[in-house]
Structure 1
Amino acid sequence: MRTLFPMALIAVASTPATAQDAQAPLTAASPDGSIVLTIAIDNDQRPTWSLSRKGKLLVAPSKLGFIMTDRIALQRGFAIESVERAKGDTRWEQPWGERRFVRDHHEELLVRFRQNQDWGGHRMNVRFRLFDDGVGFRYELPEQPGLTTAKIADEITEFDIVPKGTAWWITGGEWNRYEQFYQKTAIDAVSTAHTPITMRLEDGTHLAFHEAALVDYAGMWFKRIEGQKFRATLSPSSRGPRVVRDLPFDTPWRTIRIADDAAGLVESDLELNLNEPNKLGDVSWFKPMKYIGIWWGMIRGDWSWAEGPQHGATTERTKRYIDFAAKHGFGGVLVEGWNKGWNGNWFGHGDEFSFTEATPDFDLKAVTDYARKRGVQLIGHHETGGNIAVYEAQLEEAMKLYGRLGVGTVKTGYVADAGGIIAPGDTLGTTRMEWHDGQRQVQHHLKVVETAAKYHVAVNPHEPVKDTGLRRTYPNWVAREGARGMEYNAWGAFANGPDHEPTLVYTRMLSGPMDFTPGVLSLEGANHAPLASTRAKQLGLYLALYSPIQMAADFIENLEKYPRELDFIKVAPADWSDSRLIAGAVGDYAIFARKDRNSADWYVGGVNDATARTLTLTFDFLDPGKAYTATIYKDGEGATYLTEARHRIAYETIKVKKGDSYKLWLAPGGGAAMRLASAK
């Protein structure tokens, strides 16, 4: 059982607002005083919030509230009824993660607003938490007369950003979900974006807008209204209202990470701290691991998910992959296409899938028995084709089967257009079409995670709803896809450009672990299509893109061709006690230092864009008084992703200690990886 370590008690003070001071602005500051929040009622009796940092206005007065489908909006006619202030300083332990311990140090302001009777007389509370590296706030609608069920058409949550700057973002609400290239534009050129959306202001300040604890609510898109004023807009629903909730309830937190530089942005734990503690108790049954899989050949088209002569998931092939995993210390083998339902047009349909019946050429029990004897787990697969009506009807039995057979992790999938989720209807036998990140799909993902936890199964959804830190509350929610992953490299030359992964570090990865599936050491997709990567970059991905389950995605025959690179993949941990970005710039490059949770070893590495560069890395993070042997994998002389020189890799072994520095050359599309082994 992971435990909570209190460092300071939370102090709470409640202050009623008198008639005289009800409209007076309220302020609260972060623990270090650098971030100051102001709450006010404007001339139209609308609640507003604004934010400054180090004396500079970041967010100008911005409105708060809701548009409802069945009543007057919760927007005007408000006064501040009362205020509560609190503070917290605790330290909690992650069962797995980028770092073992997380500090939650914040100041809190709870503001209770009440509408006058002319506008409905409703109550609306807003809770703000200010950290030294950002702010989060959420609405809390309490029980109240005349409002038992909230039918929310949209939010009126505004973010009026003052300084000019640059934004990195993907479009919200498009058919391909989150699987897009990130655009780099001026802030005032953004349209509607998914979150996280990252910004670098002209003075170098970094911001990232996102949300935390997305539970039973619609996902938030970040919509520009005019200039640099944005508003939260919610993913649609087939029911009309985008959210329907009985009172009392809390919304997700709307979050802003704020830092002086890229490292401060990446190392923030703001969203994790805004989620509830672990609800599952002891989750030691999940072990972070590396895995291989019957997958890359299917993505490339060499094998098929459907039954027939090219079927990928056969008993014979799976046992061969299990043997490879056992020989090289991989914890799992992913098998896709093992179950019935793949033979027809399953994309966006999924009506024929069975999650308990195997194809004739795949013996599920024999395979799991064989894996168990070899000390390997089968990683299960549940592709739904976006049909959650079919999946939910089988969910309990499917997870029970995996639990009984020792399948400890399942990769789920929702391959469908953005608005193509088939959900159970209001009456038996009917269905509804929902958005992939609408309230109904958010409910579904949590149902899957909770059901899986009953049978000690961890969940890794692809085509998911974005991560909002819920892995803290449900630690069996171990990773997600939710971005343009390695699979695109199977479908065309340079399908993911060289700056794609250095952008993911500062955008998608701010939300949580990603199952990117690195480790294509052959650097080839279908028909020998080249990757926009050097071989050293494939190793650097294991440090740049965090996940507690990391794949070596290439064919096992290709992995064996590169024994030195395979050695690094085998030893690199999937669980860390500390993680730091030691060099990086948004969209350009990212070099991390991460410390193994189970030893004194450190690992250093990361990825580069299309521009060759030389970095000076300083080993200030090492433990003082210790000597380390650094085994280095780096781009060879003249390497570039553009030619066959992408295969050039160099190796070096040196001794280092705290305070030493190292000059590292990164090729176009390159990267590096190092293991710093502590002397015994």
Structure 2
Amino acid sequence: MRNNTFLILLISLVFCQANILAQKQFTLKSPDSKIEVNISIGKTIEYSVFHQGDLMLDRSAASMTLGDGFNYGVNAELEKSSTRTINQTIDALIYKKNKIEDRYNELSLKFRGDYSVIFRAYNDGIAYRFVSTSKKPFVVVNEQADFNFPGDTKAFIPYVRDNQSKRAKTGYQNTTFEMQFYNSFENIYEHSLLSEWIKGRLAFSPLVIEGINGKKVCLAEADLMNYPGMYLYNETGGNTLSGVFAPYPDEIKQGGHNMLQGEVYSVEPYIAKFEGATEFPWRAVIISSEDYELANNDMVYKLASPARGDYSWVKPGKVAWDWWNSWNLYGVDFKTGVNNETYKYYIDFASKSGIEYVILDEGWAVNLQADLMQVVPEINLKELIDYAGKKNVGLILWAGYWALNRDMEGICKHYSEMGIKGFKVDFMDRDDQLMVDFHRKGAQIAAKYKMLMDYHGTYKPTGLQRTYPNVINFEGVFGLEQMKWDADTDQVTYDVTMPFIRQVAGPVDYTQGAMRNATKSNYRSVYSEAMSQGTRCRQLAQYIIFESPLNMLCDNPSNYMREKECTEYIASVPTIWDNTISLNGEIGKYISIARKKGDVWYVGSMTNWDARSLELDLSFLGEGRFKGEVFKDGVNAGKAARDYRKEVIDIPVDRKLPVLMAPGGGYVIKIYPVFN
């Protein structure tokens, strides 16, 4: 009888121990204890997120399926767990502030099967990533990255655009769904319920979802180095968004725009492959109590891998740009176009205005050859480089993806030795693993030859700009170039939506600076003499509100020289900053941001098509006397969008500054201390 009792007790103990091993619960809190993530390890790994007691993300599953049938995160056998607390300051080199507070609590979970899952809780959100310690090659068939929201709430959804998915005449032919992986990553936002998600449509991250009590959740990813980018999809029409990833390309052929793109003709039955141990991208859930907090979030930068080596040679700045204005100079005695006389004029303008760079956009290399060593006969590149050097202006070359990828090492070496400062790389239009690796490899090789990389025609940034600070800009934005041909999109509303969402990921190659400005009723698309929607002061404000270390002046020198006040202002605005403060804002309605360089503050505001009266709180200035150089919408800016007024004011002692903006308007003030 005693033996039976002992046996029953032993079986019970083993059963209880098995339950303990099968189901583990962990709680991780942010340093300020406002955010709590609860992690459950059972049949799957699930987590939920609370902010000050409000449920922001319900139980959401995370796992990865490997090619051998093993699953990270499914029936996971926990071997050990550990925690740590980090409180440090990041010195940022090319960024919107020079120091970043990096505080988080971390939970590391090590599982049988050579993998771990790491969770971090910050004061502004949570993040997790898988880490493989495999010593042998493996493939990832798929990743489960679910984000389960507690109710049918509204979201700002950046769908892959219909017209972009139809561009692929070859490749991804199986379904329209797969064709969406071939796109230019230029999107607008639809504000709708999760249940109204358009069936069959993918969206990009970052993506913002409305939560309880006016709070927002922003889904993003970071440290994407050798893995496909994450799209988001609502397959069921419910409250769950799931990560979707482009398959690994099998056969790629040259094609697309001027034979400069790589078109995928067939794919492998997996999304990524590795030779061994690797760290997968971070999945970030950013939480804000107020919309304007998103406009100054550092999560993606904080999660990215730090730079290694010396990048003090990286020189940010402004760029005089030729393509948007179609080389349309006037009042000159030569025929304008892609030729040395035109570019010398641009160089003269840049030199006189204190603009650091001139870009030679598409047209300088022989068309349809995808060969960057073939320069058109109208261009004497060596002569232009020498001429620009004497004027203290650097030259940047536009490069199609296929042309650069043919021999990145040789091309970078050749043009670096000639004196070219960097490349604007275009028409990647994919973010599968091979294309993501192209971006990393391009950054690495360019850095070797001390060259800048401006990734145009590409996906959103995910922190590569921290790892390789010579990667100085990214497009992945519905920028001003669209106004050359798009007669229907509401760009003004987009301008006060994007900074809260896309710009969470990092800098934008938006290419502002239009001197032809139009009201809502007067705007039209004109390809060769393009204009902007909204007022002149809106264009000026974008140099403050939009983060862009390499910032274009999209209009032509002839127009800028007729607008001396505005041009001098644009040229004076820094492109990297010592500090950034988000002052106010509401997604899709208005925004105000303050940025500091040295002892000077620049403040910019923009509104949607509603005229708006704001009061800016300038208490961040502290004690002392300050003056402000103001550009504000003129009294007739609602009828003639170019109307503006410049004035110098004393900053009020109470630091409350009233601002009035016209429909589609903007406001800027440059604030400097007065010492007498």
Q: For the residues of structure 2 that align with 1:184 and 1:324, how far apart are their CA atoms?
A: 42
Aligned counterpart in structure 1 of residue 461 of structure 2, from 462, 467, 476: 467
Q: Following TM superposition, by how much is the alpha carbon of 1:296 offset from its aligned partner in structure 2, in angstroms?
A: 2.0
Secondary structure of 2:379's counterpart equals: coil
Q: In structure 2, what is the equivalent of residue 12 of structure 1?
A: none
Q: For the residues of structure 2 that align with 1:493 and 1:631, how far apart are their CA atoms?
A: 34
Q: In structure 2, what is the equivalent of residue 414 of structure 1?
A: 427
Aligned counterpart in structure 2 of residue 635 of structure 1, from 633, 636, 639: 633
The residue identity in structure 2 corresponding to 1:258 is: I
Matched, 1:204 2:227: no
Secondary structure of 2:46's counterpart equals: strand
- TM-score, normalised via structure 1 length: 0.85
Q: In structure 2, what is the equivalent of residue 542 of structure 1?
A: 543
Q: Which moved more, 1:374-383 or 1:209-218?
A: 374-383
Aligned counterpart in structure 1 of residue 670 of structure 2, from 653, 667, 675: 675
Q: Following TM superposition, by how much is the alpha carbon of 1:166 offset from its aligned partner in structure 2, in angstroms?
A: 2.3
Q: For the residues of structure 2 that align with 1:370 and 1:214, how far apart are their CA atoms?
A: 39
Q: Following TM superposition, by how much is the alpha carbon of 1:511 offset from its aligned partner in structure 2, in angstroms?
A: 0.7
Q: In structure 2, what is the equivalent of residue 275 of structure 1?
A: 304
Q: Following TM superposition, by how much is the alpha carbon of 1:523 offset from its aligned partner in structure 2, in angstroms?
A: 2.6
Q: Following TM superposition, by how much is the alpha carbon of 1:404 offset from its aligned partner in structure 2, in angstroms?
A: 1.4
Q: 1:40 to 1:202 in 2, by over 3 A?
A: closer
Q: In structure 1, what is the equivalent of residue 431 of structure 2?
A: 437
Q: In structure 2, what is the equivalent of residue 131 of structure 1?
A: 122
Q: Which moved more, 1:97-106 or 1:390-399?
A: 390-399
Secondary structure of 1:294's counterpart equals: coil
Q: For the residues of structure 1 that align with 2:388 and 2:553, how far apart are their CA atoms?
A: 18
Q: 1:156 to 1:495 in 2, by over 3 A?
A: closer
Q: For the residues of structure 2 that align with 1:529 and 1:465, how far apart are their CA atoms?
A: 25
Aligned residue-pair number: 608
Structure-to-structure mapping, 1:128-207, within 5 angstroms: 128-143=119-134, 148-172=136-160, 173=180, 175-191=182-198, 192-207=202-217
Structure-to-structure mapping, 1:389-408, within 5 angstroms: 390-408=403-421
Q: In structure 2, what is the equivalent of residue 236 of structure 1?
A: 247
Contact 2:88 / 2:103 at 8 angstroms: preserved in 1? yes
Secondary structure of 1:297's counterpart equals: coil
Q: For the residues of structure 1 that align with 2:484 and 2:329, how far apart are their CA atoms?
A: 9
Contact 1:179 / 1:484 at 8 angstroms: preserved in 2? yes
**Identical residues among aligned pairs (%):** 26
Contact 2:365 / 2:371 at 8 angstroms: preserved in 1? yes
Q: Following TM superposition, by how much is the alpha carbon of 1:659 offset from its aligned partner in structure 2, in angstroms?
A: 3.8
Q: Following TM superposition, by how much is the alpha carbon of 1:190 offset from its aligned partner in structure 2, in angstroms?
A: 3.3
Structure 1 residues 99-118: Cα deviation after superposition (integer angstroms, max 9, x where no partner): 0101110000011233xxxx
Q: In structure 1, what is the equivalent of residue 326 of structure 2?
A: 298
Q: In structure 2, what is the equivalent of residue 426 of structure 1?
A: none
Contact 1:630 / 1:653 at 8 angstroms: preserved in 2? yes
The residue identity in structure 2 corresponding to 1:188 is: S
Contact 2:204 / 2:232 at 8 angstroms: preserved in 1? yes
Contact 1:300 / 1:490 at 8 angstroms: preserved in 2? no
Q: In structure 2, what is the equivalent of residue 430 of structure 1?
A: none
Higher helix share: 2
The residue identity in structure 2 corresponding to 1:393 is: R
Q: For the residues of structure 2 that align with 1:212 and 1:29, how far apart are their CA atoms?
A: 21
Aligned counterpart in structure 2 of residue 246 of structure 1, from 245, 268, 275: 275
Q: Following TM superposition, by how much is the alpha carbon of 1:256 offset from its aligned partner in structure 2, in angstroms?
A: 1.1
Q: Return structure 1 stretches of 4+ with deviation > 6 angstroms.
A: 299-302
Q: In structure 2, what is the equivalent of residue 369 of structure 1?
A: 386
Secondary structure of 2:410's counterpart equals: helix
Q: For the residues of structure 1 that align with 2:649 and 2:371, how far apart are their CA atoms?
A: 54
Q: 1:522 to 1:448 in 2, by over 3 A?
A: same
Unaligned runs of 5+ residues in structure 1 are 1-16, 115-121, 303-308, 345-351, 419-435
Matched, 1:497 2:508: no
The root-mean-square deviation of aligned C-alpha atoms, in Å, is 2.3
Secondary structure of 2:208's counterpart equals: strand
Structure 1 residues 166-198: Cα deviation after superposition (integer angstroms, max 9, x where no partner): 211212436543212211112333353210001
Structure 1 residues 588-646: Cα deviation after superposition (integer angstroms, max 9, x where no partner): 111111101xx301001132211111001121111x23222111111111423xx5x21
Matched, 1:481 2:481: no
Q: 1:299 to 1:124 in 2, by over 3 A?
A: farther
Q: For the residues of structure 2 that align with 1:619 and 1:56, how far apart are their CA atoms?
A: 31
Matched, 1:332 2:357: yes
Q: Following TM superposition, by how much is the alpha carbon of 1:393 offset from its aligned partner in structure 2, in angstroms?
A: 2.5
Contact 1:263 / 1:581 at 8 angstroms: preserved in 2? yes
Q: Which moved more, 1:78-87 or 1:185-194?
A: 185-194
Q: In structure 1, what is the equivalent of residue 255 of structure 2?
A: none
Secondary structure of 1:110's counterpart equals: strand
Secondary structure of 2:464's counterpart equals: coil
Structure 1 residues 362-410: Cα deviation after superposition (integer angstroms, max 9, x where no partner): 11111011111111111221123xx3xx432221121112221322232
Secondary structure of 1:322's counterpart equals: helix
Structure 1 residues 487-540: Cα deviation after superposition (integer angstroms, max 9, x where no partner): 111124465521011111111111101111110112374376653111110101
Contact 1:286 / 1:408 at 8 angstroms: preserved in 2? no
Q: In structure 2, what is the equivalent of residue 217 of structure 1?
A: 227
Q: In structure 2, what is the equivalent of residue 3 of structure 1?
A: none
Q: 1:301 to 1:562 in 2, by over 3 A?
A: closer
Q: Following TM superposition, by how much is the alpha carbon of 1:679 offset from its aligned partner in structure 2, in angstroms?
A: 2.1
Q: For the residues of structure 1 that align with 2:73 and 2:104, how far apart are their CA atoms?
A: 28
The residue identity in structure 2 corresponding to 1:183 is: E
The residue identity in structure 1 corresponding to 2:604 is: G
Q: 1:68 to 1:254 in 2, by over 3 A?
A: same
Structure-to-structure mapping, 1:488-637, within 5 angstroms: 488-493=482-487, 495-523=489-517, 525-526=526-527, 530-596=531-597, 599-622=598-621, 624-637=622-635
Q: 1:255 to 1:523 in 2, by over 3 A?
A: same
Q: For the residues of structure 2 that align with 1:301 and 1:441, how far apart are their CA atoms?
A: 37
Matched, 1:651 2:665: no
Q: For the residues of structure 1 that align with 2:486 and 2:50, how far apart are their CA atoms?
A: 46
Q: In structure 1, what is the equivalent of residue 90 of structure 2?
A: 92
Q: Which moved more, 1:473-482 or 1:65-74?
A: 65-74
Q: Following TM superposition, by how much is the alpha carbon of 1:125 offset from its aligned partner in structure 2, in angstroms?
A: 1.4
Q: For the residues of structure 2 that align with 1:501 and 1:473, how far apart are their CA atoms?
A: 28
